[in-house]
Amino acid sequence: MTEQTSPIDALPSIVADVVAPNALAVDSNAEFPRATLDALGTVGLLGTISAKEVGGLGEGLRTAARVVEHVGGACGSSGMVLCMHFCAAAVIEQHGALEVRKEIAAGRHVTTLAFSEFGSRSHFWAPLSTATEVDGAIRLDARKSWSTSAGQVDSYVWSSRPVAAEGLSTIWLVPGSAPGLSIPSPFDGLGLRGNASSPITAENVLVPREAMLGEDGKGMDVMMGIVLSYFQVLAAACYLGVAEAALTKACAHVGSTQLSAVSQSLADLPTIRAYLAKGRIKVDMVRALLSDTLTAIETGREDAQLRVLEIKAAAGEAAIEVTEMTMRVCGGAAFRKEVGLERHFRDARAATVMSPTTDLLYEFIGRAICGLPLF
């Protein structure tokens, strides 16, 4: 790579040479996309949002969204793993130790969030897990219900109740290899099958007090001030990639599939074209909303929070509608795994249930436009 070449320029070849060829195995075998992470790390893309001062690219959320969309379009599992890595890295970038920030920037450290718990479910901002001071260290005990990349990462950005302060939560950096962490069961899901989204149990996990990210009791500030915008935008980018990929495959299929008796392709049928046209509009609407959301964040617009709440709900619903349409349009061929459409169809279904769920986002959006507090 020459000095004039940006690591971003390597993204298309990584997607074509690594992400896409491995997507079928990642899905079929529920295989964590390690090859993708290694390839992204080698060229510096795992450090996309890391500051240049620590060796990162120093890029913002817009560039991260572009990376996640392209990766997610080829492999939804890989896109979601990358989404969660960037979400956690954003917290570490603001509150973490210099050495960890340098490791992330260098592509040698993969991280993720560990917020959702069995007792709080999609209400991720109110953990039940505990943090107790013991002989100068902090003991963490928890039953996390879902954590993307569970058992596969170098660290977790972890939520617990405060140690002593008022507030709902405190955030910690927990090593992935910390004694006392365990994965009760592997992930075997309908979609996003390679993202290792498994429960994590913490029993007497000890971390130094310096592992605290931000202040005791101020976890809500970290969640709402950093994580929410990163997760909403990047999850939306991933599902936008899934929808775009499904639509592209469907258009290619109907253009190449011939009806021999009438010497026509499927694309010659007005009904087929109408379905695809509606899908194109849905995808383009989400892309426009995503761009506007990023602009609102970047310019500090008054409606930025509303856009952040809207974008994942919009992208998730569109991905479900578009992938369902492509299955219908492509008929029996869509059910063959090697085509990839049924994988996109299944991956899109995760959009509505990943916290904050689509139903919860509708509640937040409704409260916001009615002038009510979110919580």
Of 368, 350, 277, 281, nearest to 312 by C-alpha is 350
Residue 358 and residue 272 in one domain: yes
Of 9, 11, 159, 161, nearest to 74 by C-alpha is 11
- The answer to whether 199 and 149 have CB atoms below 8 angstroms apart is no
Work out the number of other CB atoms within 10 angstroms of the CB of residue 281: 12
- Tens-digit pLDDT profile for residues 179-201: 999 999 999 999 999 999 999 99
pTM score above 0.85: yes
Residue 213 and residue 224 in one domain: no
Of 192, 217, 242, the residue that ends a domain is 217
d(CA 297, CA 43): 28
d(CA 321, CA 298): 29
- What the block records as the tokens of 193 is 């099958």
Whether residue 146 is contained in a domain is answered as yes
Across 93-106, average pLDDT: 98
Whether residue 374 is contained in a domain is answered as no
Rounded to the nearest angstrom, the gap between the alpha carbon of residue 190 and the centroid of all alpha carbons in its chain is: 17
pLDDT band (50, 70, 90) for residue 125: confident
Residue 92 and residue 119 in one domain: no
Residue 198 and residue 248 in one domain: no
Beta-strand runs (E) in the chain = 111-114, 130-134, 137-147, 155-160, 170-175, 181-182, 198-208, 258-259, 264-265
Percent of all residues in the chain with a pLDDT value above 90, rounded to a whole number: 91
d(CA 347, CA 239): 8
Whether residue 375 is contained in a domain is answered as no
Q: Domain tally for the chain?
A: 3
Residue 67 and residue 89 in one domain: yes
CATH of the domain at 33: 1.10.540.10
Strand 111-114 relative to strand 155-160, pairing: parallel
CATH of the domain at 317: 1.20.140.10
Residue 212 and residue 229 in one domain: no
Residue 356 and residue 260 in one domain: yes
Residue 311 and residue 207 in one domain: no
Rounded to the nearest angstrom, the gap between the alpha carbon of residue 236 and the centroid of all alpha carbons in its chain is: 8
pLDDT above 80: residue 259: no
Residues for the chain: how many in total? 375
Residue 96 makes CB contacts below 8 A (sequence gap 6+) with: 173, 213
- Tens-digit pLDDT profile for residues 314-373: 999 999 999 999 999 999 999 999 999 999 999 999 999 998 999 999 999 999 999 999
Of 217, 244, 279, the residue that ends a domain is 217
d(CA 28, CA 8): 29
Residue 204 and residue 126 in one domain: yes
CATH of the domain at 171: 2.40.110.10
Q: Is 319 helix (H, G, I), strand (E, B) or coil?
A: helix
Whether residue 2 is contained in a domain is answered as no
Query: Quick one: pLDDT at residue 3?
Result: 53
d(CA 178, CA 202): 9
Across 105-130, average pLDDT: 92
Query: Quick one: pLDDT at residue 54?
Result: 98
Give the Å distances, CA to CA, from 229 to 222, 225, 296: 11, 7, 11
**250 burial via Cβ count (<10 Å: 0-12, 13-18, 19+):** buried
Work out the number of other CB atoms within 10 angstroms of the CB of residue 358: 18
Whether residue 35 is contained in a domain is answered as yes
Query: Quick one: pLDDT at residue 261?
Result: 67
Across 44-54, average pLDDT: 98
Query: Quick one: pLDDT at residue 294?
Result: 98
Residue 151 makes CB contacts below 8 A (sequence gap 6+) with: 176, 183, 196, 198, 200
Residue 78 and residue 158 in one domain: no
d(CA 175, CA 225): 23
pLDDT above 70: residue 29: yes
Mean per-residue pLDDT of the chain: 95
Q: Give the range of the structural domain holding residue 249, as residue numbers without chain letter.
A: 220-369
Of 183, 217, 251, the residue that ends a domain is 217
Residue 200 and residue 330 in one domain: no
pLDDT band (50, 70, 90) for residue 256: confident
Q: What is the DSSP string of 155-171?
A: EEEEEE--SSSSSS-EE
Percent of all residues in the chain with a pLDDT value above 70, rounded to a whole number: 98
